[in-house]
């Protein structure tokens, strides 16, 4: 993605973003979920909020117990780490043990909008 941005390869950027948005695997391990979230956080203008929230929900599942090593890819994005920890501790989210298939407009929607993620298409 960095190379596509550097050389203004718009079609490649769109193809990468579409591949990320259309890949909707079952819940991943914490390392893979956080890795996808870190990739998305690095390129917020290319990935829709809906996809971002879906990946965020997967990374925020409470049955995952992330270690410092697991969170390492997100350390460049402290706002996302703080939001992830806040989400995991949010008392109004009683069932965070399974991914939500269709995220509803919530606090996450507003938070990711303020972080520059593009609107859901």
pLDDT attached to residue 18: 78
Q: Which residues pair with 56 in a beta bridge?
A: none
What Rg do the C-alpha atoms of the chain give, in angstroms?
14
pLDDT attached to residue 102: 45
pLDDT attached to residue 74: 93
Q: What share of the chain is helix, strand, coil (3-state, %, to 5)?
A: 55, 0, 40
pLDDT attached to residue 103: 44
Average pLDDT over residues 76-100: 74
Q: How confident is the model at residue 99 (pLDDT cuts 50, 70, 90)?
A: low
Q: What is the average pLDDT score of the chain?
A: 77
Cβ(12)–Cβ(48) below 8 Å = no
Q: How confident is the model at residue 75 (pLDDT cuts 50, 70, 90)?
A: very high
Helix (H) or strand (E) holding 114: helix 107-114
């Amino acid at each position: 993605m960095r190379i596509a941005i550097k050389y203004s390869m718009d079609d490649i950027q769109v193809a990468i973003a579409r591949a990320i948005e259309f890949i909707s695997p079952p819940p991943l391990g914490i390392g893979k979920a956080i890795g996808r979230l870190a990739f998305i956080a690095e390129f917020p203008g290319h990935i829709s909020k809906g996809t971002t929230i879906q990946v965020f929900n997967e990374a925020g599942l409470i049955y995952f117990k992330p270690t410092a090593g697991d969170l390492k890819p997100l350390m460049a994005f402290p706002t996302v780490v703080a939001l992830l920890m806040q989400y995991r501790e949010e008392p109004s989210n009683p069932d965070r043990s399974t991914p939500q298939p269709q995220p509803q407009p919530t606090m996450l929607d507003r938070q990711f909008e303020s972080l520059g993620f593009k609107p859901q298409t």
